[in-house]
């Protein structure tokens, strides 16, 4: 049996605001039936509490997802690489169409995992591992993501290997922060900021939380580099991809301009 989430509203697919909640978990007895459903409805391999599409509502997933959008990995290559895995491969709406001055293979891969993942961070880490290996979109790795219907199914297999789950490792900074530095040479971290650093932030509020934390830390004497190190070594980001680091650096700079 295969678990996936689908949204019953098929009329408003261009209006993302209407799809924050209302997802229904469905059980499919065949992967072929699952693939067919993925061509008809907004979908996700994630099951969420009450069908509310938030990382904090993550219950489990049995599939990883790779969204190929830049043409670095061809459809033929994907079919060859994943032929021995339990998988679904389908083209997306911009496949072989002009997008950003480029025509390329654009498709999505759902690959079965060796075990059920019950951690949103483990799910994101597994997706990130696959995305980095095959040139997938790093914006599509998070546990709150849902996906537009596939345009056409090109490969399905219910037999074969399953992909190992990547262990989530807390982000590491290039240079460990000495305790004295972490305290800002005597400047204490406020309790409300420490809670974010230790426990993370609500889904979709990473940049806002980083901005609030940066403002509070800068006011207490931390410099920009110290703030950056504290944020990147915290539980706030789900990854330290180049894109995430650049976004957080921009947030810190914006906070510094406000001081």
Q: In the prediction, which pLDDT does 178 show?
A: 44
Is 70 exceeded by the pLDDT of residue 173?
no
Is 60 exceeded by the pLDDT of residue 180?
no
236 or 85, greater pLDDT: 85
Q: What is the pLDDT of residues 119-158, one digit of tens each?
A: 999 999 999 999 999 999 998 999 999 999 999 999 999 9
CA distance 91 to 28: 21
Is 50 exceeded by the pLDDT of residue 174?
no
Q: What is the pLDDT of residues 70-113, one digit of tens each?
A: 878 899 999 999 999 999 999 999 898 888 788 999 999 999 99
Q: How confident is the model at residue 183 (pLDDT cuts 50, 70, 90)?
A: very low
Torsion angle defined by CA atoms of residues 164, 170, 172 and 177, in that order, rounded to the nearest 10 degrees: -160
Percentage of the chain with pLDDT > 70? Answer: 91
Evaluate the CA torsion angle 49, 54, 55, 60 in order and state its sign. positive
To the question of pTM greater than 0.85 for the whole model, the response is: no
192, 215 contact by CB (below 8 A): no
Q: How confident is the model at residue 161 (pLDDT cuts 50, 70, 90)?
A: very high
Residues 6+ apart with CB under 8 A from 133: none
> Domain spans of the chain?
2-157, 179-258
Mean pLDDT of the chain: 87
Q: In the prediction, which pLDDT does 181 show?
A: 44
Evaluate the CA torsion angle 193, 198, 204, 207 in order and state its sign. positive
Structure tokens belonging to residue 25: 């978990």
CA distance 216 to 230: 12
Smallest CA-to-CA distance from 7 within 17, 94, 69 is with: 17
Mean per-residue pLDDT, 241-257 = 86
Q: What is the pLDDT of residues 29-71, one digit of tens each?
A: 999 999 999 999 999 999 999 999 988 899 999 999 999 988 7
């Amino acid at each position: 049996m295969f678990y996936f989430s689908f949204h019953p509203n098929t009329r408003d697919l261009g209006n993302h605001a209407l799809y924050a909640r209302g997802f229904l978990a469905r059980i499919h007895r065949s992967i072929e039936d699952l693939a067919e459903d993925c061509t008809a409805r907004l979908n996700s391999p994630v099951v969420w509490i009450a069908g509310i599409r938030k990382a904090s509502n993550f219950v489990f997933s049995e599939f990883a997802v790779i969204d190929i959008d830049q043409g670095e990995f061809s459809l033929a290559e994907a079919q060859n690489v994943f032929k021995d895995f339990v998988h679904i491969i389908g083209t997306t709406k911009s496949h072989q169409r002009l997008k950003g001055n480029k025509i390329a293979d654009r498709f999505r891969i759902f690959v079965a995992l060796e075990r059920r993942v019950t951690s949103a961070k483990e799910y994101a880490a597994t997706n990130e591992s696959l995305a980095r290996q095959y040139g997938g979109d790093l914006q599509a790795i998070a546990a709150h993501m849902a996906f537009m219907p596939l345009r056409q199914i090109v490969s399905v297999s219910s037999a074969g290997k399953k992909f190992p789950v990547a262990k989530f490792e807390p982000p590491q900074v290039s240079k460990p922060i000495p305790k004295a530095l972490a305290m800002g040479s005597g400047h204490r971290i406020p309790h409300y900021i420490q809670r974010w650093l230790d426990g993370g932030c609500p889904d979709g509020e990473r940049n806002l939380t980083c901005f609030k934390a940066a403002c509070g830390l800068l006011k207490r004497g931390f410099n920009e580099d110290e703030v950056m190190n504290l944020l990147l070594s915290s539980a706030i980001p789900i990854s330290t991809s180049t894109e995430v680091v650049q976004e957080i650096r921009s947030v810190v700079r914006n906070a510094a301009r406000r001081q």
